[in-house]
Amino acid sequence: MRRPESTYTLLERIKNIGLFKRIFFWKSAILSNLEKVYSEITLLESESEMLDQIKKEKSHTDERLIETRELLSELKEKNSNLTEKNELLRKDISEKDSKISSLSQIEKERDSHITRLQSEMDSLKNEISRLNKENTEYQKTLSANEEMQQERKEKFDNELGRLLKMEEQLSHRRQQLEEEQKELVRKHFEEMKTTWQKHETRVEQEIKNICNKYVITYIDKEKVPFKGKPDNTIMVADEYIIFDAKSPARDDLEYFPKYIKAQTEQLKKYTKNPEVKKDIFLVVPTNTIEKLPANYYDMGDYSVYVITPDSLEPVILALKKIEEYEFTDKLSPEERDSVCRILGSFLHLSKRRIQIDMFMANETDGILKAMKDIPLDIKEKAENYQKAKKLNPPQDRASKKIDTRFIENAQEEMGKLIGNDV
């Protein structure tokens, strides 16, 4: 603020003025300077007002300065935060740049892949175009095939109808054949049962025929001189030889082996007589021999042989061979061995004959069963031929002797035929 010089000068002159001057020279000494003082005071008032205004402005400026300082402090803090954020952003930007670089590489590879896919797409378009052309050709072919298929379907339906009708006929015929087959089996079984029922009579008649043919003594069951009544007894070398006929007592052959085993034990009653030979023969039907587990039973005191009617003649002839010797206890070892060899040969021949007959019977049965699989027209024609055929084997007569020369001649003829074939 400016200093008021006139006012200070006036005040100094008032201080220094003496009493005389104050009385006589007040006006000239003081009043002359009052105008200057007044103008300075006015100026000072103006300047004071201005100073007050400046103070107010200064106060306002100080307040703004404080606010500015506070704002500056906040800005500094914000600047620090921004600096940290800026650093994080720089790092993020660096990572983003790295990712951008990686993505750029990926984009290049993708562009390359897109280019390759575009090339493949072009190839596929060409392939599709070619396939469309082929499809058009195939559609034409398919239409033609559908027409052909329709014709084939109609033909197939016609053939199917015919085949179904034939199948119905074949089914009906097959049912008839099965019924006929069952009837044949039933008849065959009935014949077997009839054969079993007549077995005892047939065996008795066969043994009597053999005895008549070879002059062997046959003893009727009512006249045997020992306890019991065996079915058939013959006398060879002063010994009674028993041939007991046995057949199944029921339709089921599974029980037959047990039945035969029980019968072998019951034969002991005959062997108590010293004149009865210790070799006893059980004669069973030919079609039952295969059901038996054994053809020979050693019962300790006696032996039991199971044979069929076909074996009767060779067995009886083998037994009769012993009668040619006057005393069997005087036979030499060589002669006894010869007798045993003949008996063994006859036994083997009998068993082998039974085995072959059963084998041929099974094979024949298999062929008959297989006939159901042949065509119907052929089968019917074969059955007609079958009805026209007749098999007439030589008859066996009690008064007629079988000449072995006939067998020898037949063997010679067979040998010539085999030699010519070779």
- Euclidean distance between the first and final Cα of the chain, in Å? 169
pLDDT of residue 166: 83
282: β partners:
244, 306
pLDDT of residue 422 exceeding 50: no
> Which tokens in the block code for residue 366?
């298999």
Q: Which residues of 321-346 are buried (b: 16+ CB within 10 A; e: fewer)?
A: bbeeeeeeeeeeeeeeeebeeebeeb
Mean pLDDT score of the chain: 78
Of 211 and 342, more confident:
211
C-alpha of 93 from chain center? 67
The closest of 402, 418, 220, 196 to 314, measured between CA atoms, is: 402
pLDDT of residue 3 exceeding 60: no
Please count the other Cβ atoms lying within 10 Å of the Cβ belonging to residue 307.
21
If you average pLDDT over residues 20-38, what whole number do you get? 60
Domain boundaries, the chain: 5-75, 201-389
Q: DSSP string spanning 264-311?
A: HHHTHHHHTSTTB-SEEEEE--GGGGGG-S-SEEE-SSSEEEEE-GGG
Which positions ≥6 away from 106 have C-beta within 8 Å?
Answer: none
C-alpha of 173 from chain center? 36
Q: Please report where in the chains the tokens 């200093």 appear, as a residue.
A: 3
* Per-residue model confidence as pLDDT tens digits over 255-297: 888 888 988 998 888 888 888 989 999 999 887 888 888 889 9
Which positions ≥6 away from 213 have C-beta within 8 Å?
Answer: 398, 401
pLDDT of residue 205: 92
For 345, the enclosing helix (H) or strand (E) is helix 333-370
> Which tokens in the block code for residue 329?
């206890």
CB-CB contact of 7 with 41 (8 Å): yes
pLDDT of residue 381 exceeding 90: no
* Per-residue model confidence as pLDDT tens digits over 195-240: 666 888 889 999 999 999 988 899 988 888 888 888 899 998 888 9
Single-letter amino acid, residue 248: P
pLDDT of residue 373: 74
List phi, psi (to 5°) of 129: -60, -45
Q: DSSP string spanning 138-197?
A: HHHHHHHHHHHHHHHHHHHHHHHHHHHHHHHHHHHHHHHHHHHHHHHHHHHHHHHHHHHH
In the Cβ-directed half-sphere of 222, how many Cα atoms lie within 13 Å?
A: 0
Q: Which residues of 272-288 are buried (b: 16+ CB within 10 A; e: fewer)?
A: eeeebbebbbbbbbbbb
Strands ordered across the beta sheet of 279-283: 217-219, 232-236, 239-245, 279-283, 303-307, 296-298
Please count the other Cβ atoms lying within 10 Å of the Cβ belonging to residue 192.
17
pTM of the model: 0.39
Residue 391 to residue 118: CA distance in whole angstroms: 92
